[in-house]
Structure 1
């Protein structure tokens, strides 16, 4: 009983540590993604400013040819970049939401485990140690009883079975 309890306690501590590490990693990842999102937003703002400056300077009407011979305007290229950036931002936002949900779930579970461990005070562990000692003593006493029973069964010629 004690060993099961001790194993459970060690397992709970290990789980708590793993969850703390996971929360830490998720938090770092969230911050990285938020930073990346902020950079992408700034990039979009810069592209929008360039787009406005192209429109005001009259450059947006210029056309160029791609290596394949297609005619494109800077406006088309700008729209492609903007579309690509918005898709990337959407993906980043989804990933951030997913990580935040997982972070909240792990935080809740970690708090529950912490509360459960808080209920185990020093007296509890002392009592468990006392029980462990009592079990060890009873095992020793049982072994002595078994030896005595073997001796008595040999003296009287009775068959000794370990399980009565």
Structure 2
């Protein structure tokens, strides 16, 4: 009986440790998801700003250009003439690379966010099986184990007294 109580207590302790661990993991993942969502929103906002900036630059570039051929002269807002040549091509190339990097980063973060959300759902489903009644039952079992251990200790005391009275050696197998 005492081994059963001990084993039951072990199972209960393991269950408590697992519950605490799962709760901690769930909190960490919730925080990671929150941080990733914030980062994704920031990157999307940044991407949108960069797109708007590119559109503005393209509109200015189109309205002031007198020729679309590289190396030709363009009109400046003040009415002067400048040579754009490879400068606008370099800017365009740089902006498009920057946008590509932003898009890749957003895709990567969305993928990671999706994985974390799926794992969070799985953990929540697993914890859902451990409802309030379950923990109340575990508490009842814990109380029963404690009472049983007290009773076992009383029995052991009685056995020791009886063995002393009758002169028998008492050996506890615990």
TM-score range, shorter chain: 0.7 to 0.9
Give the distance between the partners of 1:134 and 1:77, measured in 2 at CA: 82
- The aligned counterpart of 1:98 is 108
Give the distance between the partners of 1:124 and 1:146, measured in 2 at CA: 32
- The aligned counterpart of 1:69 is none
- The aligned counterpart of 1:61 is 73
Deviating beyond 6 angstroms after TM superposition, the runs of 4 or more aligned structure 1 residues are: none
Give the distance between the partners of 2:168 and 2:108, measured in 1 at CA: 75
Structure 1 residues not aligned, in runs of 5+: 63-71
Q: C-alpha displacement at 1:73, in angstroms?
A: 4.2
Normalising by the residue count of structure 2, what TM-score does the alignment of the two structures yield? 0.76
Count how many residue pairs are aligned between Structure 1 and Structure 2: 154
Structure 2 residues not aligned, in runs of 5+: 1-10, 75-81
RMSD, aligned α-carbons: 2.6
Give the distance between the partners of 1:103 and 1:152, measured in 2 at CA: 68
Which of the pair has the greater relative contact order for Cα pairs under 8 Å at 6+ separation?
2
Q: C-alpha displacement at 1:87, in angstroms?
A: 1.1
